[in-house]
Amino acid sequence: MSRIVCHKMNSDGTMKCSSPKSTGNSTNTKPSMKTLRQLQQDLNKQMESLQKEMQNGKRQGKELSEALAKMAAQQEAIRRAMQELKEQMTKEGNLKNSAFIQQMIEDMEKTEKELYNKNLTYETIKRQKQIEVRMLESEKAEQQQEIDDIRKSETAKNDYKSNLIKNFQYNVIKNNNIESMNRGNLNFNFYYRKKIQEYFNNISYENN
């Protein structure tokens, strides 16, 4: 499964993403939860730093508004990538993780609204930390799923090889048995031909 990898935020708050070349024809792409969590972690640190500056009166007016708007745009970009991830999981039938991600998406949207309304509080920071923890849990689940998929793939390959070996061994035994039977028939025919020949030879000898 190929992925869209989001490396960093641009200056306007949008994410810079790239799609690695894949060797197959797979069209299933999705952002990496690990990358999104790292982006969320960076954003949370910025928000904590800004909140402290606000409390100390270091950020005010236009400068504060621009900083909050930029962070809101960054959160929106992460949320949209999370939405894409959720949709891909739904298509793959991973409904449990899909529902788990939906809760994070809703919390991110709350944060966006608060930031656009210039409202950065302790509750906002607390929510952001909870989002980050959930993203880490989802990342671990994603990694475990990848490990399980690899194991299943390897098991299927091993089963296929084992069946090939068993079929090969069966055919070898079968062919050997057929050859043995053929040899037995030849020996059997040769024995009776010899006896018949001896019989005629004896008849010829008695007549003479």
Confirm if 46 and 128 have CB atoms less than 8 A apart: no
Question: How many residues can be counted in the chain?
Answer: 208
DSSP label of 14: -
Instruction: Output the pLDDT for position 24.
Output: 46
The C-alpha atoms of residue 62 and residue 204 are separated, in whole angstroms, by: 131
Confirm if 72 and 112 have CB atoms less than 8 A apart: yes
User: Per-residue pLDDT tens for 12-67?
Assistant: 555 555 444 444 444 445 678 889 999 999 999 999 999 988 888 877 788 999 99
User: Per-residue pLDDT tens for 120-135?
Assistant: 999 999 999 999 999 9
Q: What share of the chain is helix, strand, coil (3-state, %, to 5)?
A: 80, 5, 15
Within 92-121, residue ranges assigned H as helices are: 95-116
Band the pLDDT of 92: cuts 50, 70, 90: confident
Confirm if 139 and 31 have CB atoms less than 8 A apart: no
